[in-house]
Structure 1
């Protein structure tokens, strides 16, 4: 039996499902908590995965500048793991970031093997800019963080996306 898996930008109708999907991972202290208001406020940062029409995965991407972005809140429901959905979500983030001109992407994770298989390398957490830690200070494990930083270069230099402008003609008589 074939299954349909799709990755798309999140919409307002997805907020409750995103919140529900994130909660078990928040309870296990795998990801930082996000309330519904936070999800609404950052909705433009989210991609979701549908498996046969059911929302089964989510990821957020936060851009720090033209050279750096973070993959955050990557979650796939336990019932849908091992189907390549996490990989599709991260690849979706990478394509999105490359199109925007971002050169590097990182994640703070407990599953380094997953990211290493996708071309990420383990890096020192201290190598990340100070502004990255503005979110981390809200974590209960901030002083005793055991997450590992991984990073991938999407390009050696920022990619400057080509802008296509409409042609405007004015005919003066």
Structure 2
């Protein structure tokens, strides 16, 4: 058995999990509703206040899908209860962010400002001009949008300028040495 796959998922109070045909799982909670079609080979059962995922056989593909399916459901339950967030920091002279409605405007040293629209179900919150918090209930969307923001100007190793995750450590390099 998959060590992760065999662990039951606890359903907190105020959260409902429904499994429809073709393994369409719908999770409703205080923060919203998430639904996802999971691999049809897996057997998903709601037993009381837990969700149990079992696999039909011991093929390598089934073992892989077992842990994945369980983790996806657990992430959905966590999303509708507490939600997910990623914090990004902007470092560099003249680098800043501004918010206008659902549009995030980034000034990153290019000849033009970079404008990004918040995707459905994801919101960005600015703290000052150089701290962006990406929040949402879908872990995948939050992570993807945070990665897209970071990709607009990745941190560089010489001065550390760019957009980085708050917990990310940039390995710095020593620059050129001057003439002797």
Structure 2 length-normalised TM = 0.25
Give the number of the structure whose alpha-carbon radius of gyration is greater. Answer: 2
Larger strand proportion of the pair: 2
Structure 1 length-normalised TM = 0.25
Larger helix proportion of the pair: 1
